[in-house]
Structure 1
Amino acid sequence: MFGLPWKGRIALVFLIGLAACQPQSANCPTCGDRTPIDAGVTIDASVGPTTPDAGIGACGPSNPCDGDLICAEGDCVECADDRHCEGQICSQNRCVQGCRGDADCTDPDLPVCVNVGPEGGTCGECETDNQCRVRSPGTVCREAVCVVPCRNGACDEGVCLDDVCVPCIADGDCDRGQICTENACAEGCREDDRCVDGQICLEGQCTPGCRGDNNCDPGEICVEFGCVAGDCRIDDHCPEGQVCGANRCGNPCGQDADCGEGSICEGGGCQLGCRDDAACGRGQICERNECLLGCRAHGDCGAGEICIELGCRRGCLNDDQCSGDELCINNDCRQGCRDDDNCRGGQICVEETCVRQCRFDDSCGDGSICNIEPGQDLGICEAGCREDEHCGRNAHCGDDGQCAPGCRRDAGCGAQEVCLEETCVPRCDDNNGFRCPRGSVCDREAAACVDCLDDRHCGEPLQCDADRRRCVFTCEVDRDCPGGALCRGGRCVSCNDGAQCPPGLRCDADSGCVECIEDAHCEGAAVCDPVRRTCVTEGRFGLCHPGAALSGCNNTNRRCQEGLVCLRVNSWGTIQNLCMQRCEVQADCPRGFICSDDQICVPFSSQQTLSCDSYVELGTECNNSTRCGLDWVADDAICSGYGRYSDPPRCSWFCGSDTDCPAGHGCEDPPPVNNNDPAPRCTPLP
C-alpha cells in the first residue's frame, strides 16, 4: 500500500474520439473500395499496411502501407478500431493502454475499468468503497486506489493527510537514511542527522564518511570525507624532527633504506609498512604496503585449508581430501556427483547433484515436481510446484512456481489444525475442550490456538499485537528492535528488500538489515557469523561461547570474535568466562537475544528463561532433555522429538513466535503425533 504515493499510483489516460468517415462521403473522395469495420469507421480492404510518408497522407491500392500499419482515410495508421490493438485500445488511430470495460483489465492488482468515457478508461484498483472492502478489508476507494482511511485523525501506520493514511508528510516520519518524497519514504538524505552513525549526507545519499577527525576511530584522521589511518596532514602536526608523509609522522627519508625494519619511506617520511611479503610475519602478505593476514598459495595455509582469493579457508583440492562418499566440488567437500555412477539406482547426475527420475509429480516429494523434456519418457524431480498440494503442510505454491512458507486454507494443515493468517495452528473447539498447547491460548471465535489475546499472555518485554494475535516487540524507532529489524507501526518487523536497509547492509528477511548472510558477503578470509550476521575472523569464539566445559576466553578478548568481550557471567549459578556482546539498546543485539539490565545481549524466549548454556546446545543430538544442558546438566532446553528437530531428536527450546528464535531458526508448531499436540519450538528454517 505504501510503496508509492497514493495519489500517483494510477495515471489516468484521456483519449480523444476517433475521426470517422462514411463510405462514399464527401470527406473520402479517393478512399477506394472500402469494407466497413465499425459504424462510422472504414478502411481500405484492398491494401496492406504501410509506413506513412511524413506530411503526406497518401495510400491506396497503388500505394500500400509498410509493416503493421493499415490504410484508413488515405493515411497509414496503427489502427482504426480496438480489434487492431492486441491488449490495448485504439485512440486517434494509435494503440494505447486503456480499457472499455472490466474484462479488458487482466492485471489482478488493477481489475476495474474506471473513468470510462467515449475515449475509453483506465484500469485501477477500485471504483467503489465496497470493492476495496472485498480486496483489502479496512480500506476505502480514493482516485481508483484502495487506501487506509484515518480513524479520528490518526493512523495505525503512517500519518494522516486529507483523511487518508500515507507513509509520511515530512522527513521525520521516515527512518534514518530516508527522506519523504511525494508522501513516500525513499532512500536519501538532506542533512547528516538523517544518516546512521558513521555516515554523512553526500549528494543526497547517506555514505560512510566523516566531517572531522572526531568522527574517526583513534589512529585515524578525516581526509576528503573519509577516515584514513594517520596522525597528521602537515609537518607542523608532528613532533620536532619528524615530517608528515602519507598522513603519518615519521623520520625524514629519501629511500626505504633510511628507515628501520618494518618501515618504508612514503612521502619523505618513514612509515610502518612493507614492499613485499618477505617483510611480513608468518601467515601475512603485503597488500597495499600493509602486512595483512592472507596467503598466496595453498602451502601458506594450515591443514585442511586452501588459499582462495588471498585468504585461507577450509576446503579441498581433490576427492582424496574428503571423507566417506563426499566429493571435492568447487573446492568444498560435499555430497554430490560427477556422473550417473556416483548416484543410487533411479537417480541421475544433474549439475553435480543426484536427482530422482520420475514420470509423475506424485513421484517427487514435497516441494518438487516432475519435469519431463519433450520427446522423453522420463523426467527428473526439480524444485517447484504447480499447486498447493505439491508443497506439503504449512506451505503454498507461489506465483513464481516455487513453494513458499504459509498455508492458504485448512486443507494445507494437519487434521487437528486450522489455517490462521497463513500459518497452521492447533484447532481448539468443543471437541477438545478449547485446550491449547503450552505457550498459546484459545481464540474461540477463530477456533484456533494463538500466541495471545491481550498483553497478559506475553512475557516481558513483549506485548500482544491484537490484530495478529502475536507477542511482538513494541518500538518507537529502529534502535528498539533487535537483529536489524525495523520499527513499523509501533511493531518490530523484518525488512522486505535491501532498499529499506542503510548502505552497506543486506536484507535478511528472517531477521532484518545485517552485514552479511553468507561467507561470500565478507572480504578476504573473513566469514559470516550465522548468529550475529556480521563478518568475523574464522576460529574465534562467538556470542555466548565458550562455556565451562570449553577452553575459556581467559579474561581476554583475543579469543572472541570482533565486537565481543570476555566477561565473567553467572549462568544458572555457574560463573563462566563467556564471549558476550555489550549493548545499550535492543538494536545492538542479534535476533533471539535482548539487551539485559546488565547491558549485555542474552538469549531470549517469551516462553521460558534461557541461558547461554542452552543456547550453545541448540541443535545438539539428544535422547532426553537432561542431555540438553552443557556438561550434560539439565537446564531450560528441551530434547525435541517433533518437527524439523525430530530425526534425530535435538536440543531446542519453546517459543511463541519467530522472535524467540535466533538467526537461521523459526518457531515451528509441529503437527500432532499419536494424539499428542506438541508446543511450538525453535527449529532450523526449511
Structure 2
Amino acid sequence: MIDRCSGGAHRCAPRRLLLLAPVALALLGACGSDDAPADASGPFDAGTRDGGNVDSAAGRTGFGEQCELDEECAADAPSCVELAAPAYAPGVCASACGEGGACPNGSECHDEVCIRCAAEIAGTVAPGGACGCSADCGSGGACEDGVCEVDCASAGCPEGSSCDGTPPTCRECLGGEPGAEDAECTCDADCEGDLACIGESCARPCAIDENCGADECRHELLLSPPSCAPPGSGCVGNGDVAIGGDCACNADCAAAAPLCLGLFAAGQRRLVCSTPCGPEQPCPGDLQCCSSDGASPYCIAASLAGSPRLTCM
C-alpha cells in the first residue's frame, strides 16, 4: 500500500475521490472486465454482485465494504476511499486497477482504483437512483457522481416522470391536473398547454422578447430555458447600461449586453446586463463566462461567480 500520510498508513484517513464519468468497459454479467487477470476476481464470483468480505484472520474489512481508515481494510483492498457519491459512506475499501483498467466482476475502474458497484442485480437502478457504477443503471443509463443519469430523449422515462430540461433528464411529476402559469410543478407535464416547468413554477418558455407580448424574455443564470416575465418596476428603457451594470429590464441594457440577467449573489437577488458567451465568444475584461447544470453560459463579474452551482470557464 502506498503511504499517503505523513504519519504512515496506521492513522491514514480515507482519501477523497470524485466519482468520474465511467469509462466504457466490457461487461461480464455485472460491471467487470473480460480482460481482468486471473487473480483479479477478488471477493466477487463471476456473474454475481455479492461483493465485500471480511479477512477473518486479520479481522479486517474486504473489498467494497465500508471503512473509515486504511488500517481497517484487508490486503486485497488496502485503500479506504471516500467518494463524493450517496452510494458510499463514509468510505469503501478499494484496490488498485489492473492493467488496462481491469477490475473484479462487480466493480469498475475510476481514478486508478476499483470501485464496487452498488446494486445487488445489474441494471436495476432507475434514473435518479443511487449507483456505484454504470452497470447498476437500467435504461442504458450512466452513473454520474453516484446518481444514474439517462438520455431520456431516446430511452424515455419511468411512468410518472417526464423528460425535461437542458440537458434533458427524467423528472418525477406531481401528477393531477396540469396547472396554469405560476402553478407549482416538478416536470413539464404538470403544466398546461405550452407552459414548461422552470424553477418549479409553470412558465412560458421563450427565446426573444417578441415571444412574450407585453412582457419580456427573462434570462436567469441558474435556470433554463428563459421564460416570459414582466419588466421590473424600475425599468427606464434607455438602452445605455453597460455589461455588468444593474438593470430592471432588457430595454435598460446597451446593445453589447442586451440581456437583463437574473442571479443571486451573497444571498441577494441581482439583475445585471449581460450577454451569452462561450469558448469562441469570450467575455470582455475581467468578466467570467459562467453557467449552471448545462444551461447557457453568460458573462458576469468575478465577484458574482461564487455559487457552488456555477461552472466558469
- Structures share a fold, TM > 0.5? no
In terms of Rg, which structure is larger? 1
More relative contact order, 1 or 2 (CA 8 Å, 6+ apart):
2
- Greater strand proportion: 1
